[in-house]
């Protein structure tokens, strides 16, 4: 749970991937505590969410979250979905790993501890998306599926989209076995007989292949595995580690 000492010392920060007047986005760091209602110490998760989201002027009770099954299904979110997954994991949108909406004041959220959060923003419509991209979802090109649905439902044009990456495990630390050569034809880096997956690099290429302009992709290059004092990491800490929250909302 978030501590009074941390509040008083002013150590708490959120990472804003890109700044746009029409929307809010951010990712918590581990100083805010565990945000998951399923993994890690869940006792203070709702209080942690409340503290973090208050900084972004978002009511934690209004969140819409995904079940996050490491698949590639994408859901369009509407006002009637408000609060799904906000107070109970059992009410999260089932079977999906990416969320889209064009409704204002409807905050979308995902949780991660090495997987890549991808923020999408179409300022012309306007519309937003939030993608949970682990290696399985990336293998199935989940970010391209999210863009395809934005095109279908919102008439978004990929060249108008802005994309941003939240903190994730990077190619410096994401060691995988040789079997991954079956899954990825690019994005595998071989070093001294070991393979390392460039999760962000693969998703960047998928974004560009979907029509997103390279200059509209923002990547802070933060590795959750390296930054031990700042972020939770599944690879470093195991399944019982906490999770960060990434959130996006149209104003």
pLDDT, tens digit, 9 for 90 and up, residues 47-62: 999 999 998 999 999 9
Write out pLDDT tens, residues 91-140.
999 999 999 999 999 999 999 999 999 999 999 999 999 999 999 999 99
Distance CA 151, CA 148 (A): 5
Q: Where are the domains of the chain?
A: 4-169+214-250
Residue 4 pLDDT exceeds 90: no
- Whole-number percent of the chain with pLDDT over 70: 93
What is the secondary structure of 162-219 as a DSSP string?
EEEE--B--TTT-EE-GGGGGT-SSSEEEETTEEEE-HHHHHHHHHHHTT--GGGEE-
Confidence check: pLDDT of 181 > 90: yes
Q: What is the pLDDT of residue 243?
A: 98
Q: Structurally, what CATH architecture does the domain formed by 4-169+214-250 represent?
A: 4-Layer Sandwich (3.60)
Task: Output the six-digit token pair for 116.
Answer: 């890549």
The answer to whether 30 and 64 have CB atoms below 8 angstroms apart is no
What is the rounded distance in angstroms from the CA atom of residue 27 to the CA atom of residue 22? 18
pLDDT band at 10 (very low <50, low <70, confident <90, very high): very low
Q: Which of 19-23, 84-88, 132-136 has the lowest mean pLDDT?
A: 19-23
Averaged pLDDT for residues 62-88: 98
- Can you list the alpha helix ranges (DSSP code H) found in the chain? 4-9, 45-55, 135-139, 142-154, 199-209, 234-237
- Report the sign of the C-alpha dihedral through residues 100, 246, 64, 133, in that order: positive
pTM, rounded to two decimals: 0.94
| Average pLDDT value over all residues in the chain | 93
Taking residues 199-205, report their average pLDDT: 98
**pLDDT higher than 80, residue 73:** yes
């Amino acid at each position: 749970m978030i501590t009074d000492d941390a509040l008083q010392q002013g150590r708490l920060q959120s990472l804003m991937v890109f700044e746009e007047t029409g929307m809010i986005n951010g990712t918590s760091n581990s100083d805010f505590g565990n945000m998951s209602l399923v993994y890690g110490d869940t006792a203070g998760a709702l209080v942690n969410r409340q503290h973090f989201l208050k900084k972004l002027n978002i009511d934690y009770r209004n969140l819409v979250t995904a079940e996050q099954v490491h698949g590639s299904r994408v859901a369009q979110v509407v006002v009637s979905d408000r609060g799904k997954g906000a107070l109970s994991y059992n009410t999260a949108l089932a079977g999906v790993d990416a969320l889209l909406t064009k409704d204002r004041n409807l905050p979308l959220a995902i949780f991660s501890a090495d997987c890549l959060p991808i923020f999408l923003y179409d300022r012309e419509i306007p519309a937003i998306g939030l993608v949970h991209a682990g290696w399985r979802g990336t293998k199935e090109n989940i970010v391209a599926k999210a863009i395809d649905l934005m095109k279908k439902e919102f008439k978004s044009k990929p060249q108008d989209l802005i994309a941003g990456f939240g903190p994730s495990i990077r190619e410096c630390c994401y060691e995988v076995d040789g079997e991954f050569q079956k899954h990825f034809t690019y994005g595998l880096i071989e070093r001294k007989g070991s393979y390392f997956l460039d999760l962000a690099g693969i998703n960047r290429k998928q974004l560009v292949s979907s029509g997103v302009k390279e200059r509209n992709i923002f990547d802070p290059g933060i590795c959750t595995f390296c930054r031990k004092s700042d972020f939770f990491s599944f690879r470093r800490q195991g399944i019982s580690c906490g999770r960060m929250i990434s959130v996006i909302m149209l104003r």
